[in-house]
Amino acid sequence: MKFSSLLKRTTSILIIFIITILGVSAEEQSGGIDQKINDAFKPAADFTGKMMFSPIPIGEQGIPWVILWLGIAAIVLTLYFRFINIRSFPLALKTVLGKYSKPDDPGQITHFQALASALSGTVGLGNIGGVAVAISMGGAGAVFWMILIGFFSMTTKFAECTLGVKYRKIDSDGTVRGGPMYYLRDGLKEKGLEGLGKILAVLAAITFIFGAFGAGNMYQANQSCALIYDVVLNSDSDDGKWIFGIIMAVLVGVVIIGGIKRVASVTSKLVPSMCIIYLLGGLIVLAFNIGNIPKAIGTIISEAFNPQSAMVGGIIGVFIQGMRRATFSNEAGLGSAPVAHAAVKTSKPASEGIVAILEPFVDTIIVCTMTALVIVSTGVYEIGQTTGTGGGILLTSEAFSSVLPWFKYILMVAVFLFAFSTMITWSYYGEQAIGYLFGPSKFVSNTYKTIFCLFAIVGASSNLGNVLDFCDATLFMMCVPNLIGVYLLLPVIKQELEAFKKHAQSIDSQ
């Protein structure tokens, strides 16, 4: 049987399976539909969670192997490039302003536009709801580890985005295609590892698709639905959330299947405004609680090493939660960023790698830290508030509302727009992977888009714990083939870095 035929049968089964879940008896209560969806989805969440987060024993506790894989990579790369995340920070600021590039360089967008595009896909619910999830599951100390891994992840972003530009493909019409599939296939081929490169590229494409279904879709639907239910209906009930999922699926489908790009265009313009409003709101809350900020910082640092609750599993448990949420937020090491950064106008691949170090800095060190200080300084945080569908995002809303009662309405709109734009962005990421695997097939593309939309219904209806297990697992899958390629191509990255440094020095000396 041909692989494309197998795909058609598999996707047909998936569609029938999801529709069957949704098509339960019309007499059944709406809450029953949500419960059926959650129960049907739970085995998949449990399976992926156990597969990706199997622990490696360290002392009396264990750390999931994928956490070690990502964390060690971030530290190793930072040491290998001699703390480029610190040394090249001024260079990154000058590069993002276009000092070292020309208007006629190959590519589609400027360094600043590439950074803004990448940030629009990462700054969002991972910063707003993800921080609250980290605190509610791991205590305030989880934030310390989020910030620390964000610092080291700056180097990971540099490495993978340099490769994304180095091995990108520019079509005859100027369209740029980039990402781990291309540097795994072509980069490893140059090193005489063509077979391994092809295998890793296919694995990267497959994991991209699952990542799109999970983190790029289900989590977004789950958290935006939870906040809208809380603000509009003033209810924490799970009844009828599948209806919101259908609405979200239709809206996303109008853009990605129906081709109505104007909606996506308007959203992309509104999202930066929502980011600014969110940051201003956070600064206002911190201003009202300025006297509590030193205590909040002290709590975050002290509980990183001395957790106050046995629920979090000691320092290892706090570290794990911080690491999971930091990676979910900034996506360093997963291979998603190179897709966005590959479109930059430059003749020096490492120039965009240098710019990319700013992404985790803004995303994790600035935005996540601000969210954490808002939650901790207002005193609303508690450990263990993750059993319901909402969980994390409601904690953030409560923290803002303690100072600005009306801000929850703005936050609700912002969260919906963040979720909507992220879903469209990740749909594109998955579509790129589908195109790599199967070529230009309209049937395959539309089948993927249909399944993608249906997953929004599952995400809105399911318990947050199940959604997090599945989304984290599918997202972390992406780092396995990606980081193998980054390790094997370190000499190429170093060579490109030296070439860009010489280029920059020649311009600075003029």
DSSP-assigned states of every residue in 356-414: HTHHHIIIIIIIIHHHHHHHHHTT---TT--SSSSTHHHHHHHHHHTT-TTHHHHHHHH
63 forms beta bridges with: 56
Q: Kindly report the number of other CB atoms within 10 A of residue 100's CB atom.
A: 23
Give the Cα separation of 401 and 79 in Å (integer): 42
Give the Cα separation of 433 and 478 in Å (integer): 12
Give the Cα separation of 480 and 476 in Å (integer): 8
Give the Cα separation of 266 and 183 in Å (integer): 33
pLDDT at residue 445, as a whole number: 86
Three-point CA angle 366, 153, 493, nearest 5°: 130
pLDDT at residue 104, as a whole number: 81
The residue length of the chain stands at 510
DSSP-based three-state secondary structure for 233: coil
Give the Cα separation of 330 and 1 in Å (integer): 40
Give the Cα separation of 319 and 55 in Å (integer): 13
pLDDT at residue 490, as a whole number: 96
Q: Are strands 169-170 and 55-58 parallel, antiparallel or unpaired?
A: unpaired
pLDDT at residue 266, as a whole number: 61
| pTM for the model | 0.84
What letter would DSSP give residue 224?
H
Where do the DSSP E strands lie in 50-109?
55-58, 61-64
pLDDT at residue 386, as a whole number: 45
| pLDDT per residue rounded down to tens, the chain (510 residues) | 454 554 455 445 445 445 544 444 334 444 477 777 777 777 777 788 778 778 787 766 778 888 889 889 999 999 999 999 999 999 999 998 888 888 887 877 888 878 877 776 666 777 787 788 888 777 888 889 989 988 999 999 999 999 999 999 887 777 778 889 999 999 999 999 999 999 999 999 999 999 999 888 888 888 888 888 777 776 555 667 888 888 888 888 888 877 655 555 666 666 777 778 888 888 999 999 999 999 999 989 988 887 765 455 677 778 887 888 777 777 888 888 888 888 888 889 999 999 999 988 988 888 888 988 999 888 877 654 444 444 567 888 888 888 888 888 888 888 888 888 888 888 888 888 888 888 878 888 888 999 999 999 888 888 877 888 888 888 888 999 999 999 999 999 999 999 999 998 988 887
Show the tokens assigned to 340: 């966005």
Give the Cα separation of 166 and 35 in Å (integer): 47
Residue 363 dihedral angles phi and psi, to the nearest 5°: -65, -55
Give the Cα separation of 403 and 283 in Å (integer): 11
109 forms beta bridges with: 344
Amino acid letter, residue 400 = F
Three-point CA angle 184, 189, 190, nearest 5°: 110
Nearest-10 Cα torsion for 221, 388, 314, 364: 30
- How many separate helices (H) and strands (E) can be counted in the chain? 26, 4
Amino acid letter, residue 214 = G
